[in-house]
Amino acid sequence: MPQKPRFLIIRFSSFGDVTQCLSVPSNICASYPEAEVHWITRKDMAPLLKNHPAIHRVWEYDRKTGLKGLFRLLNEMSSIKFSHIYDAHNNIRSRFVYWRLGLFSSCKFLRRSQKRWKRFLLFRFHKNTYEKPFSGQRDLLEPLTQWNIEKSLPPVPQLFLGPLEIDKSTELLGSWGKKNYIALAPSAAYFLKRWPLEHFKRLILSMPEHNFVLIGGPEDRFIEELAAVAPSRTLNTAGKASLLVSSALVRGANALISNDTGLLHVGEQLGIPTIALMGPAPFGFPSRENTKILELDLPCRPCSKHGQGPCINKIYHQCLIDITPEQVRREVLIKLEAKK
């Protein structure tokens, strides 16, 4: 009797990329119903995967243990005979995984291309040879078409939260759990990816009939200033919730308004109506029909891989400054009306 297909997905980080990659296991199982899907990831990313019904086992790498810890984990994994290995990360660490588990086996192997030539043309000459529109999820699924796996997105949800995260979010919301609210994700890893704080303030003030839950990390102290604009209608959870509890807060929202950051992809994978404020970076673009992308067609975009800059436009930060609060208000009201 032939061995059932056994897939290994390699994706260690980051939060947004792992969240987008959550569509991969479902598409594998749609094409290979008998498949057993494993995933190796960083220990801090593992909770994102553990409740996914298409993932059979999560292998956790603790980066504090360095290469020695990785090799110990790979020695443990070597007893598993994988029929397919998909390197969805394509870095030195992911190559070690393949060299140890797949190089001398008969397994099928795919590695997601970094498309370096396309990147060079894009950033050096602003010549865009990528498939349009950009789509982070599609780019992760596209290599798998060689194994007759669809690159079209599976239905939502593709992020599955456990009762612990949902209970903690309910506790954090308190009396807000009985309110309808819009989730705001006003932060991002780089300043140039952030819609201006004053725009977020004006948006909140322009929607006096709506409540807002503000989501961010402990370093996002600026969110306190945003919450002060309308204290009775804003709940600041920045620094009070883990990424998964923050995801549960998004799950309870009527809509999400987000910069180009990991929570944007959380909203997509949960099926939440989302407004995406896209600025200088090209590769984190959302993929779902339920997401409205707001962006400006400027010759300087994109200016950098991750949005780290520098801004080369004569009008500093124009790509996000010129997206007005009224535009965002109009689009989110359309989303809320469609949800009724």
Give the pLDDT of residue 2: 52
Q: Which residues of the chain have pLDDT under 70?
A: 1-2
Phi, psi of 189 (to 5 degrees): -60, -35
Q: Which amino acid is at 146?
A: Q
Give the pLDDT of residue 131: 81
- What's the predicted TM-score (pTM) here? 0.94
Give the pLDDT of residue 121: 87
Give the pLDDT of residue 1: 38
213: helix, strand or coil = strand
Residue 179 DSSP label? S
Between the CA of residue 29 and those of 4, 160, 235, 288, what are the distances in Å?
Answer: 12, 16, 40, 20
Give the gyration radius of the chain's Cα atoms: 21
Tell me the C-alpha distance between 140 and 151, whole Å: 8
Give the other-Cβ count within 10 Å of 308's Cβ: 14
Residue 4 DSSP label? P
Residues 246-278 pLDDT 10s: 999 999 999 999 999 999 999 999 999 999 999
Q: Is 118 exposed, middle or buried (0-12, 13-18, 19+ CB in 10 A)?
A: middle
Tell me the C-alpha distance between 169 and 220, whole Å: 19
Instruction: Provide DSSP, 140-152.
Output: HHGGGGGGT---S
CB 100 within 8 A of CB 74: yes
CB 87 within 8 A of CB 112: yes
Q: How would you label 256-294 residue by residue, b for 16+ Cβ within 10 Å and e otherwise?
A: bbbbbbbbbbbbbbbebbbbbbbbbbbbbbbbbebbbeb
Phi, psi of 7 (to 5 degrees): -100, 145
Give the pLDDT of residue 71: 96
Peptide bond into 163 cis (omega under 30): no
Domains present along the chain, CATH in parentheses: 6-147 (3.40.50.2000), 163-339 (3.40.50.2000)
